[in-house]
């Protein structure tokens, strides 16, 4: 029996492709985004409970968006774990959504240095996504 087992679809898997540490880093970053998305959802829901009617609707809408983002980040992390090609694209689109959402928060709400964390997290994930080993592992090269 061969030491290299064929992957699904009949394409042989190479031992070098099995271990890509940066894919693990990508998964951790995506799971951190998912956890932070859930935390933002809870925070916005708590703030909406004490807000006026017009503000409450806006906060609940933003909480829903953060919840959807958290689910999408968890799905992207799962896809990266299984080395799915769509996970690379999905992760890049999520980073774009995170940067746009953070930009909207900067415009709508008063400035807070915590907004820089949203931009920094999106930049960190994009740097990992842009690395050659991750692109190769997720079928982008």
pLDDT digits (tens, 9 = 90+) for 81-107: 999 999 999 999 999 999 999 999 899
- Tens-place pLDDT, residues 5-17: 555 554 445 444 4
Looking at the chain, the number of H-run helices and the number of E-run strands are: 6, 0
Which DSSP symbol is given to 50?
T
Sign of the torsion angle spanned by Cα atoms 119, 125, 128, 130: negative
CA distances from 110 to 42, 55, 56, 79, 106 (A): 20, 14, 17, 36, 7
- Average pLDDT estimate for 57-68: 94
User: How far is it, in rounded angstroms, from Cα 72 to Cα 86?
Assistant: 12
Residue 11 region by backbone torsions, left for phi larger than 0, else alpha for psi between -120 and 50, else beta: beta
The answer to whether the pTM exceeds 0.75 is yes
Structural domain spans, the chain: 21-137
Question: What share of the chain in percent tops pLDDT 90?
Answer: 72
pLDDT at 12: 46
2 pLDDT higher than 70: no
């Amino acid at each position: 029996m061969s030491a290299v087992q064929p992957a699904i679809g009949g394409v042989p898997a190479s031992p070098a492709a099995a271990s890509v540490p940066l894919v693990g880093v990508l998964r951790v970053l995506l799971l951190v985004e998912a956890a932070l998305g859930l935390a933002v959802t809870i925070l916005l829901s708590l703030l909406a409970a004490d807000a006026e009617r017009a503000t409450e609707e806006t906060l609940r809408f933003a909480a829903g968006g953060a919840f959807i983002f958290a689910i999408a980040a968890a799905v992207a992390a799962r896809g990266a774990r299984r080395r799915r090609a769509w996970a690379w694209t999905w992760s890049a689109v999520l980073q774009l959504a995170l940067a746009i959402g953070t930009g909207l928060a900067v415009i709508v709400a008063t400035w807070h240095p915590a907004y820089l964390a949203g931009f920094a997290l999106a930049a960190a994930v994009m740097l990992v996504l842009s690395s050659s080993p991750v692109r190769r592992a997720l079928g982008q090269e």
